[in-house]
Amino acid sequence: MMTLEICVDSVESARAAAAGGATRLELCGNLIIGGTSPSPYLIEAVQKLDVPVRVLLRPRFGDFLYTPSEQEILYKEVELCRSLGVDGVVIGALCPDGTLDVPFLSSLVEAAGPLGKTLHRAFDVCADAQQGLEAAITLGFDTILTSGQAATALEGVETLAQLQQQADGRITLLAGSGVSPENIPVIRERTGISAFHMSGKRTVEGGMRFRREGVPMGLPFASEYERFYTDEGLVRSAYAALTQK
Protein backbone atom coordinates (compact mmCIF):
# COMPACT_ATOMS: atom_id res chain seq x y z
CA MET A 1 0.00 0.00 0.00
CA MET A 2 1.28 3.46 -0.94
CA THR A 3 1.79 5.91 1.95
CA LEU A 4 2.85 9.55 1.84
CA GLU A 5 3.18 10.70 5.43
CA ILE A 6 3.90 14.38 5.97
CA CYS A 7 5.43 15.51 9.25
CA VAL A 8 3.82 18.72 10.52
CA ASP A 9 3.91 20.83 13.66
CA SER A 10 1.15 23.35 12.99
CA VAL A 11 -2.40 23.57 11.73
CA GLU A 12 -1.15 25.61 8.77
CA SER A 13 1.27 22.88 7.72
CA ALA A 14 -1.35 20.18 8.28
CA ARG A 15 -3.78 21.99 5.97
CA ALA A 16 -1.14 22.36 3.27
CA ALA A 17 -0.17 18.69 3.56
CA ALA A 18 -3.79 17.58 3.30
CA ALA A 19 -4.39 19.82 0.28
CA GLY A 20 -1.26 18.45 -1.40
CA GLY A 21 -2.38 14.84 -1.14
CA ALA A 22 -0.83 13.48 2.04
CA THR A 23 -2.30 10.10 2.92
CA ARG A 24 -1.32 10.51 6.58
CA LEU A 25 0.10 13.14 8.92
CA GLU A 26 2.72 12.71 11.60
CA LEU A 27 1.96 15.46 14.09
CA CYS A 28 4.61 16.78 16.43
CA GLY A 29 5.74 19.94 18.15
CA ASN A 30 9.03 21.74 17.52
CA LEU A 31 9.95 20.11 14.22
CA ILE A 32 13.06 22.29 14.05
CA ILE A 33 14.66 20.12 16.76
CA GLY A 34 13.44 16.83 15.35
CA GLY A 35 10.00 16.89 16.93
CA THR A 36 8.59 16.62 20.44
CA SER A 37 5.16 15.72 21.79
CA PRO A 38 2.52 18.20 20.57
CA SER A 39 -0.12 19.97 22.62
CA PRO A 40 -3.39 18.05 22.96
CA TYR A 41 -5.15 21.13 21.63
CA LEU A 42 -3.00 21.03 18.50
CA ILE A 43 -3.91 17.35 18.13
CA GLU A 44 -7.61 18.17 18.36
CA ALA A 45 -7.29 20.99 15.82
CA VAL A 46 -5.45 18.84 13.26
CA GLN A 47 -7.87 15.95 13.73
CA LYS A 48 -10.58 18.14 12.19
CA LEU A 49 -8.88 17.67 8.82
CA ASP A 50 -9.90 14.65 6.80
CA VAL A 51 -6.51 12.88 7.05
CA PRO A 52 -5.36 10.14 9.46
CA VAL A 53 -3.05 11.51 12.18
CA ARG A 54 -0.25 9.69 13.95
CA VAL A 55 1.18 11.59 16.89
CA LEU A 56 4.89 11.69 17.66
CA LEU A 57 5.51 11.28 21.38
CA ARG A 58 8.96 12.43 22.53
CA PRO A 59 9.42 14.29 25.80
CA ARG A 60 12.54 16.21 24.80
CA PHE A 61 15.29 16.77 22.28
CA GLY A 62 18.22 14.36 22.38
CA ASP A 63 18.77 10.66 22.79
CA PHE A 64 16.14 8.03 23.50
CA LEU A 65 17.27 6.80 26.92
CA TYR A 66 14.47 8.01 29.15
CA THR A 67 14.34 8.61 32.88
CA PRO A 68 11.53 7.10 34.98
CA SER A 69 9.69 10.44 35.03
CA GLU A 70 10.01 10.78 31.24
CA GLN A 71 8.72 7.23 30.82
CA GLU A 72 5.71 8.05 32.98
CA ILE A 73 4.96 11.10 30.87
CA LEU A 74 5.22 9.09 27.65
CA TYR A 75 2.88 6.43 29.00
CA LYS A 76 0.29 9.05 29.92
CA GLU A 77 0.64 10.72 26.52
CA VAL A 78 -0.08 7.39 24.81
CA GLU A 79 -3.20 7.02 26.95
CA LEU A 80 -4.22 10.58 26.04
CA CYS A 81 -3.80 9.91 22.33
CA ARG A 82 -5.90 6.77 22.64
CA SER A 83 -8.64 8.75 24.36
CA LEU A 84 -8.51 11.38 21.58
CA GLY A 85 -8.99 8.70 18.94
CA VAL A 86 -5.99 9.47 16.75
CA ASP A 87 -4.96 7.04 14.01
CA GLY A 88 -1.79 6.06 15.81
CA VAL A 89 1.24 6.96 17.89
CA VAL A 90 4.92 7.28 16.95
CA ILE A 91 7.13 6.10 19.80
CA GLY A 92 10.55 4.67 20.59
CA ALA A 93 13.03 4.15 23.42
CA LEU A 94 16.47 2.62 23.82
CA CYS A 95 18.52 0.94 26.54
CA PRO A 96 22.06 2.18 27.32
CA ASP A 97 23.53 -0.62 25.18
CA GLY A 98 21.64 0.57 22.10
CA THR A 99 19.00 -2.14 22.03
CA LEU A 100 15.31 -1.32 22.01
CA ASP A 101 13.88 -0.90 25.51
CA VAL A 102 11.55 -3.86 25.09
CA PRO A 103 9.88 -3.84 28.54
CA PHE A 104 9.04 -0.14 28.38
CA LEU A 105 7.99 -0.21 24.73
CA SER A 106 5.81 -3.23 25.47
CA SER A 107 3.94 -1.18 28.07
CA LEU A 108 3.45 1.67 25.57
CA VAL A 109 2.21 -0.69 22.86
CA GLU A 110 -0.26 -2.22 25.31
CA ALA A 111 -1.46 1.24 26.37
CA ALA A 112 -1.95 2.18 22.70
CA GLY A 113 -4.32 -0.74 22.19
CA PRO A 114 -5.89 -0.63 18.71
CA LEU A 115 -4.04 2.50 17.58
CA GLY A 116 -1.48 2.26 14.81
CA LYS A 117 2.07 2.03 16.12
CA THR A 118 5.16 3.46 14.42
CA LEU A 119 8.65 2.93 15.82
CA HIS A 120 10.36 6.26 15.24
CA ARG A 121 13.95 6.97 14.30
CA ALA A 122 15.30 5.75 17.60
CA PHE A 123 15.59 2.72 15.34
CA ASP A 124 18.22 4.55 13.28
CA VAL A 125 20.56 4.88 16.24
CA CYS A 126 20.01 1.42 17.70
CA ALA A 127 23.04 -0.88 17.83
CA ASP A 128 21.76 -3.58 15.46
CA ALA A 129 19.17 -2.76 12.79
CA GLN A 130 18.35 -6.38 11.97
CA GLN A 131 17.82 -7.23 15.63
CA GLY A 132 15.83 -4.02 16.11
CA LEU A 133 13.52 -4.89 13.22
CA GLU A 134 12.73 -8.31 14.70
CA ALA A 135 12.14 -6.78 18.12
CA ALA A 136 9.76 -4.20 16.62
CA ILE A 137 7.74 -6.93 14.94
CA THR A 138 7.57 -8.98 18.12
CA LEU A 139 6.46 -5.92 20.10
CA GLY A 140 3.56 -5.32 17.72
CA PHE A 141 4.64 -2.25 15.76
CA ASP A 142 3.12 -2.00 12.29
CA THR A 143 5.62 0.55 10.94
CA ILE A 144 9.28 1.57 11.33
CA LEU A 145 10.28 5.11 10.32
CA THR A 146 13.86 4.80 9.13
CA SER A 147 16.61 6.28 6.99
CA GLY A 148 18.48 2.99 6.95
CA GLN A 149 20.66 4.16 9.87
CA ALA A 150 22.14 6.94 7.72
CA ALA A 151 21.83 10.72 7.69
CA THR A 152 19.32 10.50 4.84
CA ALA A 153 17.23 7.76 3.29
CA LEU A 154 19.09 8.15 0.01
CA GLU A 155 22.42 7.56 1.76
CA GLY A 156 20.94 4.58 3.60
CA VAL A 157 19.34 3.04 0.52
CA GLU A 158 21.38 -0.19 0.62
CA THR A 159 20.48 -0.85 4.25
CA LEU A 160 16.86 0.04 3.51
CA ALA A 161 16.83 -2.54 0.73
CA GLN A 162 18.25 -5.19 3.08
CA LEU A 163 15.73 -4.35 5.79
CA GLN A 164 12.85 -4.41 3.30
CA GLN A 165 13.91 -7.90 2.28
CA GLN A 166 14.21 -9.00 5.91
CA ALA A 167 10.79 -7.52 6.78
CA ASP A 168 9.19 -9.64 4.05
CA GLY A 169 5.80 -7.97 4.47
CA ARG A 170 5.66 -8.45 8.24
CA ILE A 171 6.07 -4.73 8.96
CA THR A 172 6.01 -1.53 6.87
CA LEU A 173 9.23 0.38 6.38
CA LEU A 174 8.54 4.11 6.13
CA ALA A 175 11.53 5.77 4.45
CA GLY A 176 12.28 9.15 5.96
CA SER A 177 14.95 11.88 6.26
CA GLY A 178 15.86 13.93 3.22
CA VAL A 179 13.00 12.47 1.19
CA SER A 180 11.93 14.65 -1.75
CA PRO A 181 9.86 14.41 -4.93
CA GLU A 182 13.14 13.99 -6.83
CA ASN A 183 14.51 11.01 -4.89
CA ILE A 184 11.31 9.09 -4.11
CA PRO A 185 11.46 7.17 -7.43
CA VAL A 186 15.13 6.28 -6.87
CA ILE A 187 14.60 5.03 -3.31
CA ARG A 188 11.48 3.13 -4.33
CA GLU A 189 13.20 1.43 -7.26
CA ARG A 190 16.27 0.44 -5.25
CA THR A 191 14.47 -0.75 -2.12
CA GLY A 192 10.92 -1.78 -3.03
CA ILE A 193 9.63 0.55 -0.31
CA SER A 194 6.35 2.32 -1.10
CA ALA A 195 5.87 4.31 2.13
CA PHE A 196 7.58 7.68 2.46
CA HIS A 197 7.85 10.35 5.16
CA MET A 198 8.80 13.98 4.59
CA SER A 199 8.07 17.49 5.86
CA GLY A 200 8.26 19.44 2.59
CA LYS A 201 9.15 22.58 4.50
CA ARG A 202 9.52 26.09 3.16
CA THR A 203 10.76 29.13 5.04
CA VAL A 204 8.41 32.06 5.55
CA GLU A 205 9.27 35.44 7.01
CA GLY A 206 7.45 36.20 10.26
CA GLY A 207 5.11 39.16 10.62
CA MET A 208 7.07 41.15 13.20
CA ARG A 209 8.12 44.58 11.97
CA PHE A 210 10.08 45.49 15.09
CA ARG A 211 12.94 43.02 15.50
CA ARG A 212 15.36 42.87 18.41
CA GLU A 213 18.39 41.20 16.89
CA GLY A 214 21.02 39.32 18.89
CA VAL A 215 18.63 38.08 21.59
CA PRO A 216 18.02 34.40 20.81
CA MET A 217 15.23 32.64 22.69
CA GLY A 218 16.79 29.19 22.73
CA LEU A 219 18.22 28.29 19.31
CA PRO A 220 21.16 30.58 18.45
CA PHE A 221 21.45 29.03 14.97
CA ALA A 222 17.82 29.79 14.03
CA SER A 223 16.17 33.13 13.36
CA GLU A 224 13.38 34.11 15.71
CA TYR A 225 11.66 35.79 12.78
CA GLU A 226 11.28 32.89 10.38
CA ARG A 227 8.61 30.21 10.24
CA PHE A 228 8.75 26.80 8.65
CA TYR A 229 5.63 25.49 6.96
CA THR A 230 4.84 22.52 4.75
CA ASP A 231 4.65 23.52 1.09
CA GLU A 232 1.50 22.23 -0.59
CA GLY A 233 3.21 22.15 -3.98
CA LEU A 234 6.07 19.98 -2.70
CA VAL A 235 3.59 17.53 -1.22
CA ARG A 236 1.66 17.41 -4.47
CA SER A 237 4.88 16.74 -6.39
CA ALA A 238 5.84 13.99 -3.94
CA TYR A 239 2.44 12.38 -4.31
CA ALA A 240 2.80 12.45 -8.10
CA ALA A 241 6.27 10.90 -7.87
CA LEU A 242 4.98 8.14 -5.60
CA THR A 243 1.94 7.30 -7.70
CA GLN A 244 3.52 7.41 -11.12
CA LYS A 245 3.88 4.06 -12.85
- The Cα 194–Cα 163 span in angstroms is 13
Range of the domain at 65: 3-243
Total structural domains in the chain?
A: 1
pLDDT for 245: 66
pLDDT for 223: 81
Q: What is the CATH number of the domain that holds 37?
A: 3.20.20.380
In terms of Cα–Cα distance, which of 158, 205, 197 is closest to 179? 197
Our measurement of the distance from residue 124's CA atom to the centroid of its chain's CA atoms, rounded to an integer in Å, reads 12
pLDDT for 98: 97
Cβ-proximal residues to 93 (8 Å cutoff; 6+ apart), any chain: 64, 65, 66, 71, 74, 100, 101, 104, 105, 108, 122
Measured from the Cβ of residue 188, the count of other Cβ atoms closer than 10 Å reads 18
In 16-164, beta strands by DSSP E = 24-27, 53-56, 88-91, 116-119, 143-146
Evaluate if pTM is beyond 0.85: yes
Most distant CA atoms of the chain, gap in Å: 56
In terms of Cα–Cα distance, which of 36, 117, 44 is closest to 80? 44
Could you read off the pLDDT tens digit of each residue along the chain, which spans 245 residues?
Answer: 799 999 999 999 999 999 999 999 999 999 988 999 999 999 999 999 989 999 999 999 999 999 999 999 999 999 999 999 999 999 999 999 999 999 999 999 999 999 999 999 999 999 999 999 999 999 999 999 999 999 999 999 999 999 999 999 999 999 999 999 999 999 999 999 999 999 999 988 888 889 888 877 777 777 888 889 999 999 999 999 999 86
Measured from the Cβ of residue 167, the count of other Cβ atoms closer than 10 Å reads 18
Our measurement of the distance from residue 19's CA atom to the centroid of its chain's CA atoms, rounded to an integer in Å, reads 19
Are the CB atoms for 69 and 37 separated by under 8 Å? no
